[in-house]
Structure 1
Amino acid sequence: MTEFNPVLRLNQQTEGFGSVCDPFSGPPNYTYTPEKCSKDSIQIGEIPNVLQRFTCYEDFSTGNCIGDGRFLPEASYMMVRAYSRSIQNLINIFPDLQSLTQCSFVNDAFMDIFWHQCEPFKASSRMLWASMLSLSIVMVVLLLLWVAKAYQNRGGSFSVCSIIPRPT
């Protein structure tokens, strides 16, 4: 009698599949190079098609799995499907976005809007900076007061600001 080995079964079912295509080079450059993917590699958007055969679709009347899949619940499959489609869509538009960043017309337009036509944004960023500065100052003052109170509670006293009378 043979024992069921899910890893062996998974390896047998995934034979013939290549690696997942990663069109970006490694650190430190992270450049987009779609030609680096081999012909037998799987596009990120195709991952759900590969995982579909390993997915357990639940029969709501019986609660049992329908199909050959025994490894991946249907909810996880749907999440992987949404993520892989989103990432593939971003990869598909990446060359266009990259060319827009190189376009001086687009850069000049954004800089003009930011520096000359967007006073509310400048005012908001200054207010944000001022509020962060005031919060930092208040936190430092509170930290110093906390340290002084801890020192006072340990038995030390500050003769100038002590409210507990000293025995003479």
Structure 2
Amino acid sequence: MPPLCYPFDDQFRERQCTNQEVSSANASMVWENYVCEVSESGICTTVGRVTPEIYSQLAAAANESYALEHYAPLLLSLQNCNFVRDAFTGITTNYCPPLKHYLYIINVGLGLISVGVLLCLVLWILYANRPQRGEVFVMLSLKEKIKSRFNKNHQSTNLAVPNAGSEV
């Protein structure tokens, strides 16, 4: 049974498949010739090297390999938006040169909006962390209560000392 061709070498450079290897495009068709018939116990009863269950797993892996090999470049171009840049570059150079200026203005506007939102966020954080009116009044009333109690305790100790001194 021929092995599946891996299209890259150990340095991730493209390489040609050998004659003994099968490409991912037609691997499931080639491997279908190596499927055997299976008994109830799961053992091959006819000539073949793989059971239908193993063949279905191998075919699924080959199909996924084919999909990754052919669709990964498109997905990678979506990741870094190269196709959008290429499309707008082609449009602005070939069909509508003033569009480049307007796109620049839109980018500047989006940048200003981003800075404005960031500034609003910073101001909101600063405003949210300052004490509110109710909290300020509570703090003032607590200070007054502490002062009044301290003054009462201080006055009562001052009053007690002269009386004690006069008795002696």
- TM-score interval (norm. to shorter): 0.3 to 0.5
| Higher Rg | 2
Larger relative helix fraction: 2
The two structures have a TM-score, normalised by structure 2, of: 0.39
